[in-house]
């Protein structure tokens, strides 16, 4: 299991950051940024046993502050020498209040990860005319997942396309784990998913399936319960939202 940076926070002297992965644009790093990368790489690789890696180092709107994006999904901040490290969100104040700069970066990464999932791995309910799309991490035994699924006809009438990913709460230990494999391995996934969410027993099936991969993806982007709704821009809405509120959020923008 990958360590969170927070689990390393009390390790001695700068055992908090780094990576063997190059920045997204290492060729344009100046000498100061290269020195920062070298210092951070030396410390974190040893502290995390190569499990934590840096995806990018980017200057921020705050003078002399650098954003460090990790493969764990965490975003950290350091000064340009790497002497100090800050864990937490960065906000920028303006005439309209506070803007969470860290959240904006996370949203982009979530959207990228969801877009990388092949649609043939999903269970998709498509309206006649799509006006908006949501991706839903679901568990067939989850009460509120079932409530959301009962809204399916209305969601489709509103033009909301629903892409389901599997998230058996508890992973392989979940009571729903084998049920979800049976759903994903059925000849008619839509029908089997609906039957499972109605509490019907399905014939046990097994095949090569993406259930654990979906579960791991959900954990990677911070999903901890179901249903979890991911909007097209990468925002994550935890929990059930009724169709009227969801339509207002998706369509009235």
- pLDDT tens digit sequence for 127-145: 999 999 999 999 999 999 9
Which CATH architecture fits 5-101? Roll (3.10)
- Could you tell me the fold of the domain covering 113-251? Glutaredoxin (3.40.30)
CA neighbor of 121 nearest in space, from 131, 140, 135: 135
pLDDT score recorded for residue 253: 57
Q: Which of 44, 4, 3 is closest to 20 using CA atoms? A: 44
Of all residues in the chain, the percent with pLDDT exceeding 70 is 87
Per-residue pLDDT reduced to its tens digit, 73-129: 788 899 888 888 888 889 999 898 998 888 888 899 999 999 999 999 999 999 999
Are 229 and 241 in contact by the 8 Å Cβ rule? The answer is: yes
Cα torsion 80, 86, 92, 98 to 10°: value is 180
Instruction: Give pTM, 2 decimals.
Output: 0.77
pLDDT band with cut points at 50, 70 and 90 for residue 23: very low
In this structure, the number of other CB atoms found within 10 A of the CB of residue 84 comes to 11
Q: Where do you find CATH 3.40.30.10 in the chain? A: 113-251
What residue spans in the chain does CATH classification 3.10.450.70 cover? Answer: 5-101
User: Residue 11 has what pLDDT?
Assistant: 36
* Residue 190, CB-side half-sphere exposure with 13 Å CA sphere: 8
């Amino acid at each position: 299991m990958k360590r969170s940076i927070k689990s390393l926070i009390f390790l001695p002297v700068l055992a908090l950051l780094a990576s063997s992965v190059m920045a997204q644009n290492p060729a344009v790093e100046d000498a100061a940024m290269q020195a920062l990368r070298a210092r951070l790489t030396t410390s974190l690789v040893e502290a995390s046993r190569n499990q934590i890696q840096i995806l990018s180092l980017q200057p921020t709107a705050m003078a002399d502050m650098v954003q460090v994006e990790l493969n764990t999904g965490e975003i950290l901040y350091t000064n340009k020498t790497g002497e100090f490290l800050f864990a937490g969100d960065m906000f920028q104040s303006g005439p309209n209040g506070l803007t969470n700069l860290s959240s904006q970066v996370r949203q982009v990464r979530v959207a990228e990860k969801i877009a990388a999932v092949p649609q043939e791995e999903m269970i998709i309910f498509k309206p006649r005319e799509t006006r908006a799309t949501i991706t839903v991490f679901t568990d067939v035994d989850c009460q509120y997942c079932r409530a959301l699924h009962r809204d399916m006809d209305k969601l489709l009438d509103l033009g909301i396309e629903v892409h389901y990913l599997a998230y058996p709460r508890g992973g392989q230990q979940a009571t729903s784990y084998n049920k979800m494999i049976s759903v994903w391995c059925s000849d008619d996934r839509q029908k089997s998913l609906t039957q499972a969410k109605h509490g019907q027993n399905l014939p046990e099936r097994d095949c090569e399936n993406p259930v654990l991969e979906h579960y791991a993806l959900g954990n990677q982007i911070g999903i901890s319960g179901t249903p979890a709704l991911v909007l097209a821009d990468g925002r994550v809405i935890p929990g059930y939202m009724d169709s009227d509120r969801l339509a207002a959020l998706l369509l009235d923008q």
